[in-house]
Amino acid sequence: MIIDLPDTTVSAISKKLVSVREEGGAVALGRVLTLIIITQHGAEEEVIEAANDASREHPMRVIVVLFGDQDADPRLDAQIRVGGDAGASEVVVLRAHGAAGTNAESLVTGLLLPDAPVVAWWPADAPVKPARSPIGRIAQRRITDASSQADPAAWVARLGEHYSPGDTDFAWTRVTRWREQLAAVLDQPPYEPVTAIEVRGASDSPSTALLAAWLGMKLDAPVDYAYLPADEWSSGIKSVRLTRASGDTLLERPEAGVAILSQPGQPTHDLAFPRRTLRECLAEELRRLDPDLLYGRVITEGHELLHTTNETSGS
């Protein structure tokens, strides 16, 4: 069910939500969090769909905020989606025009679920300091996406400069499968130290740098990472090579969606390695509402180490 509320107020939206619940169209009980999405006109349906899918694992209230022309007459248009149009969530879409959009915090405060954690998500353009933004100040977790920024590599390089506990980025979420597979390899014999690390990825893959930083920090070994030209590899992480005394371990994608694991003295293994969807990334980040301390270390301590070794290796 979709309910349009043109030229409305936050108070009227809140009352309508109560009315919808009383009529049995939605249930607030069981919602575990409020997800605030700050996005752009024309891009809202994709992120709403991802949130709806993730809500089947994390029932929540989703508030989508879109800012219109700042020079337009002040007006707030809203839309409430419940039932089949909202997955296991209830969705409130706010379109703020003119002066109505100058105070983002006041737009959402009256719509937050009481006594529930708040997560903020910027699928596209994000503030450089999310924790100090109007929406970020009221959120326990703040999610950005380096891959959607104008310069993904530069964005990732600056993450550690403005980090606050509770921040995270989908560039980090997308390396989970790589981290799990590499950790599983190193948990098996031979238990030899890694003496060199090589990471390769596409120019559009900020996750490449974060994976290299994590490996360098965890294995205390020199890191050589580089972005490949588009005609050589088009998207995502390409490969990781770990050098040990017994030989090289190579985890490499020969094509999108598949990876091959090669180890000394063992047969090669074909692995399903698709790029993670928006829904999968969001659902993973919503599984934990406490700060991701490892991510914080990687973009501060690990990234400093990475910059040092990168300058040394010249890659």
Q: For residue range 213-249, list pLDDT tens digits in order.
A: 999 999 999 999 999 999 999 999 999 999 999 999 9
Candidate from 80-84, 141-145, 260-264, 282-286 with smallest mean pLDDT: 80-84
Mean pLDDT of the chain: 91
pLDDT at 188: 92
- The mean pLDDT of 123-129, rounded to a whole number, is 95
Residue 26 has pLDDT above 90, yes or no: no
Confidence tier at 89 by pLDDT (50, 70, 90):
confident
Residue 298 has pLDDT above 60, yes or no: yes
Q: Which residue has the tokens 């490949």?
A: 228
How many other C-beta atoms are found inside a 10 Å radius of the C-beta of residue 232? Answer: 11
- The mean pLDDT of 267-281, rounded to a whole number, is 94
Reference 141, options 99, 172, 98; nearest CA is: 172
Write down the pTM of the prediction: 0.92
pLDDT digits 0-9 by tens, 189-222: 999 999 999 999 998 899 999 999 999 999 999 9
Residue 174 has pLDDT above 90, yes or no: yes
Residue 315 has pLDDT above 50, yes or no: no
Contact between 303 and 159 under an 8 Å Cβ cutoff? The reply is yes
Pairing between β-strand 75-81 and β-strand 118-121 as defined by DSSP bridges: unpaired
